[in-house]
Structure 1
Amino acid sequence: MKLYSIFLLLVTLNGAESWGLSPEKKNQYASWDEMNLIAHGLLQLGHGLKEHVDKTKIHLREITGKLNQHNVSMAALLNNAKEFRDSADVLKDRMQKLEQRDKQLQDLTLLLREKLQGVSKDRAVLDSRLQNIEEKLRHFEPSNNDNISAKEDVQSIQIQRSKVESQYWRPSLQGNDDWFEKNSSHNSGKKKLPSDCHAVFLNGEKSGIFKIQPANAQPFEVYCEITAEAGWTFVQRRIDGSVDFDQLWESYKNGFGNLSGEFWLGLSKMHQIAEQGPYIMHIELQDWEGSIQYMEVHFHLGGPDKAYALQLHGPVIGDLKNALGEFQQQAFSTQDRDQDLQSDVNCAKLLSGGWWFSTCGKSNLNGKYFHSIPRQRSERKQGIFWKTWKGRHYPLKSTVIKIRPLETE
């Protein structure tokens, strides 16, 4: 229909003869119907162009969406590549240390072999002397003095043989006594546990679950992330909503969850680690579009007498803006231990979970986990949020809180 209207328009404008029509059918002036037909054709042409432009816009939006997805995928690949490089560096350092230990073991093995050869010769000589004395004792009756002398000789040889046998089990190794004492299964005592995950890093280990023992504390297990520069002790991790973080004070004090997945280490354990010296806190957040932001800051955590109050000491580094208060001490708060700064509201009941709440509205990384963004605004504010990044009504996808010593050299 559109093409037919355009055809009639062209016939009218160019004349009937140019299209094979007889001159009798050509009028000097276009009739009113013809004008209407021309206008209708132009209108149809305009509609067709508009539909084409709309379809083009839709295609451009689809292409833009695919480009955004590609950018997110590229960011994830770059992040995976960085983690791979860090793991490769850690593996390289461990291989170098293993090569050094292997060389030490080879040297010690050579020394042991030489020492054992000397011990075997000395023992053979002593055994021969002892056999000769015993043979003589069987062939004659000695006097009392001779008998006493022979017995003394036998005892002397037996003492010397005992000394040789003791050297067999614990050789001096020509100056390597300290290393042998440290590594020998016969002489080493109970191995001292690392004080935190950075001590695990210094031992050449890779990321995983380890038992640590901070100063003046009982041993407990933690998850350690080993990078090329340091060892980080994980305090909190949210990844899939498998653990309920809507807990009371005792649970947040002692810790809960699974170190292999989601968990809260515990305020008591976090304080025992952090009171060993100046520590850095690293907070890393991820949204549902794959974007990741982080911040690092020097912090201090009070003990149980101060309700495990958190205080930051600037400056804050990273692309994530601070949402943990303005560097003043802030006590930890739960539903059954209301210690926030909001006098008329229990922030833990209003928002869910336990956190260093100020006036309820800046951050809560221990809120409810939502696999999709709820429609209801009142429900969204109970999720995991960080106001200075995505706002208080955007539930985040994953969070990590980890700590390490301020000085790692």
Structure 2
Amino acid sequence: MPRLAALLLALAAACAPAGASPSLARPPKERARGPPSALSAAGSGSSAKAASWDEVNLLAHAVLQLGHGLKEHVDRAGGQVRDLRARLAAHEAALARLESSADGAQQQQQQQRPPPARAPRRRDEPEEPEAGAGSPGGPAAGNASRGAPADLAALQNLVGLQNSKIEELFQKVKQQQYRMDKQNLQIKSLQSKVNMMLPLYAKGNEMEKNPKQKMDVRWSPDSAANRSHGAGSTLPEAPRFPLGCHQLFLDGSPSNGVVRIRPPGAQPFDVLCDATPGGGGWTVIQKRQDGSVDFDQLWEAYKTGFGNMSGDFWLGLEKTHQIMRDGRFHLLIELQDWEGNAQTVQFLFSLGGEETAYTLSLLGPILGELENAMGDFPQLPFSTRDRDHDLKGDANCAKHLSGGWWFSTCGHVNLNGRYFRSIPRQRHDRKQGIFWKTWRGRYYPLRSTVMKIRPVELGQGA
């Protein structure tokens, strides 16, 4: 606007000389000398004409500048008006939404509000006509106002029923999954038993084909009860089996490899004997070296045993108890990590029967470079995820970790955990592995473990 005012003042100044009278346009001295001559009049006329053309050019230029300024001002004002209109439309839309939501909430409150009680009609008051179906307060309006909350409540009940059915189906699927996992473990246990029985079946068929084959067997101390009563009896004598790997070692016989033994009062079964140089007679009751066997088994599998003695296997709690019946034994544990380092742990213990949940009783201190990871509990019952006997009341250690073990509280030692061929990245997986906490920690899965037993008397004599 200041620029426009300046242009208007310039235009007025330019137009003022053109409209003035000749007498006013002349200077005062010329009026005093009288009328000019013809030559002076002609010169002054040409100069006045030239001055008028300059003024016209100046005026045209000023008008052009004025037009440009007015156009810019109009364009800028139009943009501002459009912006104001857009903002006004947005505010109107937001206001309409707020009004609609407020009206809806008010209608819902009115529908949920009980109708006001009518005052009793006086005798002299005329009776009001009943509202018809088409009137605003008639039955149709009342039914419509009561119908919406009823439909909403029905839909909510239907959704609640559907959610309860879905939750029930989810629980059933979870139970079925648990049963399938249990059956899968039972199948694996039966498969392990079949694998252990196949060599015996093949050996029996070979003996049937060669009945005259001489058997190299050992005699047990109770062999007199199995001998024939008469020297002239022709009945074939039953094969004799050693009491265990310790007897073969004491007799000086080779005691390395799979051998069939017969502990007192038990049926014959195979064991893996270890004739370690410098002191043999060990019976291997557990071996983990390649992860070929799943050790996440149930109670019955840990009781009878599973796996293959040429690879990973668990001898069985009942067989171990029969070997150790009423005796004290050394337990030697050999550990190895993935860097090739090895450690050994040894201690005295005894093992109870199934009526005690095969309780392991520590009878002496832990020998070796590693600290005790079995806990400060002298007696530890065996636990699996379907027979929870651990000493941690608020958790199932076998289910929380993996496999079966003599758990005190979760997280100290578990040599029957999951086998990892490399260290997993997830911490939840690492704690389910094979670990001895006082050596590499509970989150380092070990590469191999071996558990061996032999009688205390043998260890003292050796």
Q: TM-score range by the shorter chain?
A: 0.5 to 0.7
1:407 maps to: 457
Q: Which residue is 1:315 aligned to? A: 365
Please give the alpha-carbon distance, in whole angstroms, between the structure 2 residues aligned to 1:265 and 1:216: 18
Deviation at 1:202, TM superposition (A): 2.5
Q: Structure with the greater relative contact order (CA < 8 A, sep ≥ 6): 1 or 2?
A: 1
Partner of 2:34: none
| 1:270 corresponding residue in structure 2 | 320
| Counterpart selection for 1:195 from 236, 240, 243 | 243
> Hey, what does 1:325 align to over in structure 2?
375
Q: Is the 8 A contact 2:298 2:386 kept in 1?
A: yes
In the other structure, the counterpart of 1:151 is: none
Q: Which residue in the other structure is 1:216 paired with?
A: 265
Q: Which of the numbers 420, 432, 435 marks the counterpart of 1:370?
A: 420
| Contact 2:297–2:403 (8 Å) recurs in 1 | yes
User: Given residue 192 of structure 1, which amino acid in structure 2 is its aligned partner?
Assistant: R
Deviation sequence 1:200-235 (CA, Å, 0-9, x none): 223411410000111111110000001242310001
1:22-37 map, 5 Å: none
Q: What one-letter code is carried by the residue in structure 2 that aligns with 1:214?
A: P
Residues in 1 aligned to 2:383 and 2:404: alpha-carbon distance in whole angstroms: 6
Tell me the residue number matched to 2:348.
298
Describe the SS at the equivalent of 1:407: helix
Distance 2:368 2:408 in 1: 22
Question: Residue 370 of structure 2 aligns to a residue in which SS?
Answer: coil
SS of the equivalent of 1:295 reads strand
Percent identical among aligned pairs is 60
Q: Which amino acid aligns with 1:223?
A: L
CA contact (8 A) 2:377 2:408 kept: no
Alignment-derived partner of residue 103 in structure 1: none
Residue matched to 1:31? none
Amino acid at match of 1:303: G
The residue type equivalent to 2:357 in the other structure is A
Paired residues of 1:271 and 1:303 also in contact (CA < 8 A): yes
Distance 2:309 2:326 in 1: 22
Shift of 1:326: 1.9
- Partner letter of residue 340 of structure 1? D
Structure 2 residue identity aligned to 1:292 = A
SS in 2 for 1:251: helix
Structure 1 residue aligned with 2:334: 284
Look up the equivalent residue of 1:272 and give its one-letter code. Answer: Q
Determine which of 383, 398, 404 is the counterpart of 2:448: 398
State how far apart, in whole Å, the 1-side matches of 2:345 and 2:432 are. 23
Alpha-carbon deviations, 1:285-327, whole Å to 9, x = none?
0001111101111101111110001111112212232211224
Please give the residue correspondences for 1:64-213 in structure 2 after superposition, counting only pairs within 5 Å.
189-203=237-251, 204-213=253-262
User: Is the Cα–Cα contact under 8 Å of residues 214 and 276 in structure 1 kept in the other structure?
Assistant: no
- Please list the CA deviations of residues 47-85 of structure 1 after superposition, one character each: whole Å capped at 9, or x if unmatched: xxxxxxxxxxxxxxxxxxxxxxxxxxxxxxxxxxxxxxx
Query: Is the contact made by 1:303 and 1:309 (CA closer than 8 Å) also made in structure 2?
Result: yes
What is the alpha-carbon distance in structure 2 between the residues aligned to residue 187 and residue 217 of structure 1?
Answer: 23
Q: In structure 2, what is the Cα distance between the partners aligned to 1:375 and 1:229?
A: 40
Q: How big is the shift at 1:279?
A: 0.9
- Cα distance in structure 2, aligned partners of 1:207 and 1:276: 25
Query: What's the secondary structure of 2:454's corresponding residue?
Result: strand
- The aligned counterpart of 2:41 is none
Matching residue's letter, 1:229: G
Structure 1 residues 285, 274: closer, same or farther in 2, change over 3 A?
Answer: same
Instruction: Give, in angstroms, the shift of residue 247 of structure 1.
Output: 0.3
CA contact (8 A) 2:383 2:406 kept: yes
Question: 1:384 and 2:413 equivalent?
Answer: no
Q: Rg bigger for which structure?
A: 2
* Alignment-derived partner of residue 164 in structure 2: none
* Secondary structure in structure 2 of the residue aligned to 1:388: helix
Q: What corresponds to 1:248 in structure 2?
A: 298
Aligned length: 224
Runs of 4+, deviation exceeding 2 Å? 186-192, 227-230
Equivalent position amino acid for 1:297 in 2? F
Mapped to 1, the partners of 2:293 and 2:268 lie a distance apart of 24
Query: How far is the alpha carbon of 1:238 from its aligned partner?
Result: 0.1
Distance 1:391 1:197 in 2: 34
Q: State the one-letter code of the partner of 1:224.
A: C
Give the partner amino acid of 1:267: L
Root mean square deviation, CA, Å: 1.6
CA contact (8 A) 2:327 2:350 kept: no
User: 2:241 is paired with a residue of what secondary structure?
Assistant: coil
Which amino acid letter does the alignment assign opposite residue 209 of structure 1?
V
Gaps in structure 2 of 5+ consecutive residues: 1-233
Contact 1:295 1:319 (C-alpha < 8 Å) held by counterparts: yes
The alpha carbon displacement at 1:191 in A equals 4.5
Partners of 1:324 and 1:188 in 2: CA distance: 50
Q: TM-score, normalised by structure 2?
A: 0.47
C-alpha distance in 2, partners of 1:229/1:244?
31
Q: Does structure 1 residue 355 correspond to structure 2 residue 405?
A: yes
